[in-house]
């Protein structure tokens, strides 16, 4: 047999705990604790027939230890289990108060907020606005989106680390709560043994002890015997009240069981939600972003290739047009003579006109010179005549 088996150790620990709770049923070394009071007397419930077989012998043994003459022992009957239950309740409350489930919820909400802030739709190609076309903000806006995605991705990674840490804490809490549940179960069984033993003793007192004492008192007519009957009745009353208090404590363990399970189920649901976020939501979001980023890079590459092709086509078209024009102009020039006929005709006409005009001007000059010569001769003769006249 493996002594390190966890199930075996748990069974051994539970058995030891139950034995410890029943070892000192009257809590003789502890101080008296005030039991809770009840305004209504509950109907006794026999547990001896419903408790586990191994606990029935313990209940009968415990019933034999109940001494009606020991009033202090009766007051402390069952207090070990009640004291442990009180300590257990305090530890359970402290454990729940330390665990801030709302923090996990806020982390998940923060994750959902980050996932909703960015959508791959932001990377879709839209027609640029007038201002974007004028000021060239298209590439800049894409870079801003990419930067935003990278920043948000880093934030989501940090949130994922927090979620993983919270998941591990919740898983450890589930284990601790399971131990608390088993401990609470042991308190429940111990209280059942105390109550069953008390009911056995109470039934014995009412069915056997009191009738025997009453019969003995009536036969002896001894006043002290009658007092013993009354004392036994008072003890039975106190035992009944004590059993009622123990049943109230037992009710606490009954209510604690579903409460612990509820906390465990809540933690389990949170763990599953965190696991889904870490293993599904975050990778899915990253995959979609990676696909979107790849597509936008492909789109930019296609746009660049289209631009290169367009530029190449435009250049080829312009070169072909220039080649056509140059070829035609060159051919035309090659077919032309050095001087056009029209140019020669105009030149000859201008030359003839110039010669005719020159000849006309020369003729006018000769005519004017002849007139001047005649005028000079006439003036000379006239001068000579005047000179002759002066001498005579």
State pLDDT tens for residues 53-103: 888 888 888 888 888 888 777 777 877 777 777 777 677 667 666 655 556
Least confident of 47-51, 108-112, 255-259: 108-112
Alpha-carbon span 1 to 207, nearest angstrom: 48
Alpha-carbon span 339 to 337, nearest angstrom: 5
pTM of this structure: 0.54
Q: What percent of the chain stands above pLDDT 90?
A: 3
> Highest-confidence range of 85-99, 147-161, 279-293, 306-320, by mean pLDDT?
306-320
* pLDDT computed for residue 119 by the predictor: 58
- Which helix (H) or strand (E) element contains residue 300? helix 282-335
* pLDDT computed for residue 36 by the predictor: 44
Find where tokens 């289990």 sit: 81
* pLDDT computed for residue 169 by the predictor: 81
- pLDDT band at residue 141 using 50, 70 and 90 as cut-offs: low
**Residue 216 φ/ψ, nearest 5 degrees:** -65, -40
- Which helix (H) or strand (E) element contains residue 16? helix 6-23
Give long-range contacts, CB 8 A cutoff, 24+ apart: 89-97.
Answer: 89/252, 89/256, 91/180, 92/180, 92/256, 92/260, 95/173, 95/176, 95/177, 95/180, 96/263
Ramachandran quadrant class, 104 (left: phi over 0; alpha: psi -120 to 50; beta: rest):
alpha
| Higher-scoring residue by pLDDT: 113, 2 | 113
The sign one gets for the Cα dihedral 112, 115, 118, 120 is negative
| Residue 285 reports pLDDT greater than 80 | no
* pLDDT computed for residue 71 by the predictor: 73
| Residue 210 reports pLDDT greater than 70 | yes
How far CA 357 is from CA of 8, 352, 361, 366, in Å, comes to: 145, 8, 6, 14
Where exactly are the structural domains of the chain? 48-119+142-278
Residue-averaged pLDDT of the chain: 76
* Cβ atoms within 10 Å of 183's Cβ, excluding its own: 21
The sign one gets for the Cα dihedral 169, 175, 180, 181 is positive
H-state helical runs in 5-137:
6-23, 53-65, 71-75, 79-98, 101-117, 130-135
Find where tokens 């080829």 sit: 316
> Highest-confidence range of 48-57, 67-76, 132-141, by mean pLDDT?
48-57
| Residue 138 reports pLDDT greater than 50 | no
| Residue 15 reports pLDDT greater than 90 | no
* pLDDT computed for residue 35 by the predictor: 40
| Residue 137 reports pLDDT greater than 50 | no
* pLDDT computed for residue 43 by the predictor: 53
* pLDDT computed for residue 211 by the predictor: 93
Alpha-carbon span 48 to 193, nearest angstrom: 8
User: Which letter does DSSP use for residue 120 in this model?
Assistant: G
Residue 226: alpha-carbon gap to chain centroid: 78
Least confident of 84-93, 126-135, 251-260: 126-135
Find where tokens 């056509």 sit: 324
- pLDDT band at residue 249 using 50, 70 and 90 as cut-offs: confident
* pLDDT computed for residue 182 by the predictor: 87
- pLDDT band at residue 33 using 50, 70 and 90 as cut-offs: very low
| Residue 330 reports pLDDT greater than 70 | yes
Across residues 272-286, what is the average pLDDT?
Answer: 76
* pLDDT computed for residue 145 by the predictor: 66
Across residues 38-52, what is the average pLDDT?
Answer: 63
* pLDDT computed for residue 121 by the predictor: 59
Count of residues making up the chain:
392
* pLDDT computed for residue 171 by the predictor: 85
User: Which letter does DSSP use for residue 126 in this model?
Assistant: -
Alpha-carbon span 216 to 152, nearest angstrom: 91
Least confident of 231-235, 283-287, 385-389: 283-287
- pLDDT band at residue 7 using 50, 70 and 90 as cut-offs: very low
| Higher-scoring residue by pLDDT: 177, 147 | 177
Across residues 262-283, what is the average pLDDT?
Answer: 80
Alpha-carbon span 340 to 316, nearest angstrom: 36
Find where tokens 């092709």 sit: 309
């Amino acid at each position: 047999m493996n002594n390190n088996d966890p199930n075996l150790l748990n069974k051994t620990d539970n058995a030891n705990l139950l034995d410890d709770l029943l070892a000192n049923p009257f809590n003789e070394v502890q101080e008296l604790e005030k039991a809770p009071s009840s305004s209504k007397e509950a109907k006794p419930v026999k547990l001896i027939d419903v408790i586990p077989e191994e606990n029935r012998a313990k209940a009968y043994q415990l019933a034999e230890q109940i001494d009606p003459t020991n009033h202090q022992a009766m007051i402390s009957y069952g207090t070990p289990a009640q004291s442990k239950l009180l300590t257990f309740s305090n530890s359970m409350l402290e454990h729940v108060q330390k665990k801030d489930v709302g923090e996990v919820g806020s982390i998940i909400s923060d994750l959902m907020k980050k996932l909703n802030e960015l959508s791959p739709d932001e990377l879709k190609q839209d027609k640029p606005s007038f201002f974007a076309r004028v000021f060239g903000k298209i590439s800049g806006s894409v870079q801003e989106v990419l930067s935003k995605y990278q920043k948000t991705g880093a934030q989501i990674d940090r949130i994922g680390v927090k979620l993983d840490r919270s998941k591990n804490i919740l898983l450890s809490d589930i284990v601790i709560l399971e131990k608390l549940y088993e401990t609470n179960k042991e308190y429940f069984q111990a209280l059942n043994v105390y109550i069953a033993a008390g009911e056995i003793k109470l039934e014995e007192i009412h069915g056997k002890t009191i009738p025997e004492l009453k019969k003995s008192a009536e036969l002896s007519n001894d006043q002290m015997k009658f007092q013993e009957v009354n004392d036994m009745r008072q003890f039975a009353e106190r035992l009944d009240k004590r059993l009622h208090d123990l049943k109230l404590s037992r009710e606490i363990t009954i209510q604690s069981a579903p409460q612990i399970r509820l906390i465990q189920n809540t933690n389990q649901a949170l763990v599953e939600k965190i696991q889904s976020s870490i293993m599904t939501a975050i990778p899915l979001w990253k995959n979609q972003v990676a696909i979107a980023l790849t597509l936008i890079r492909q789109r930019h590459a296609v746009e660049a290739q289209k631009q290169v092709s367009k530029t190449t086509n435009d250049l080829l078209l312009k070169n072909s047009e220039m080649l056509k024009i140059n070829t035609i102009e060159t051919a035309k020039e090659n077919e032309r003579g050095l001087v056009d006929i029209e140019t020669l005709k105009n030149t000859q006409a201008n030359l003839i006109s110039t010669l005719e005009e020159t000849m006309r001007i020369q003729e006018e000059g000769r005519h004017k010179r002849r007139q001047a010569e005649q005028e000079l001769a006439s003036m000379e003769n006239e001068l000579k005549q005047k000179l002759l006249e002066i001498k005579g």
